Amino acid sequence: MKKVIVFLLIIVGLFAALFFLNKAQNEEKSEGNPYGKDTLHPETVKQLDDENYQNIILPEELDEKIENGDDVTVYFYSPLCSHCVRTTPVVAPLAKDMEVDLVQFNLEEFKDGWNDYGIESTPTIIQYKDGKEVNRIVGYQEEATFENWFNENTLK
């Protein structure tokens, strides 16, 4: 019986060590991140060096833009959303090519964004003009659909 208890303690100890090692690695990777947070979700950490996730906006910055009546195009996404994982490699380069400043709001890191901006599902792109929402597109779409949406809503 003592051998079983010792064996179980060793297994629990190994899992605890792996947990803390993984946590320490994620904290190291997330140092100096654009989110201004000490710890990030592991899927967000994976995106830190991805060129498609470099135009991050923080909630305070977005609120300020909306309150100032700035025109802003916001891509609300979650790194856990399979539709977002498919959509981002389409819309990020497209927006860049079309010279649309598409800022990205990570709903996994800032969960209040779901309620604050009326997001029901991801991905969602919202166009704000004069501080008011004027249009949104929801879900995965083909590139041509996003291109048409950008032309109609952001390039006027």
In the chain, beta strands by DSSP E? 72-77, 102-106, 124-129, 132-138
What is the β-pairing status of strands 132-138 and 72-77?
unpaired
92 in the Ramachandran plot: left (φ > 0), alpha (ψ -120 to 50) or beta? Answer: alpha
Q: Would you call 147 a catalytic residue per the annotation? A: no
Catalytic residue among 56, 74, 81, 92: 81
Q: How many CA atoms lie within 13 A of 109 on its CB side?
A: 26
In the block, residue with structure tokens 């004027």: 134
Name residues whose C-beta falls within 8 Å of residue 22's C-beta, 6 or more positions apart in sequence. none
Q: Would you call 84 a catalytic residue per the annotation? A: yes
Catalytic residue among 40, 84, 91, 100: 84
> Measured at the alpha carbon of residue 31, what is the angle toward residues 28 and 35, in degrees to the nearest 5?
135
Q: What is the DSSP letter of 140?
A: -
Residue positions annotated with a catalytic role:
81, 84
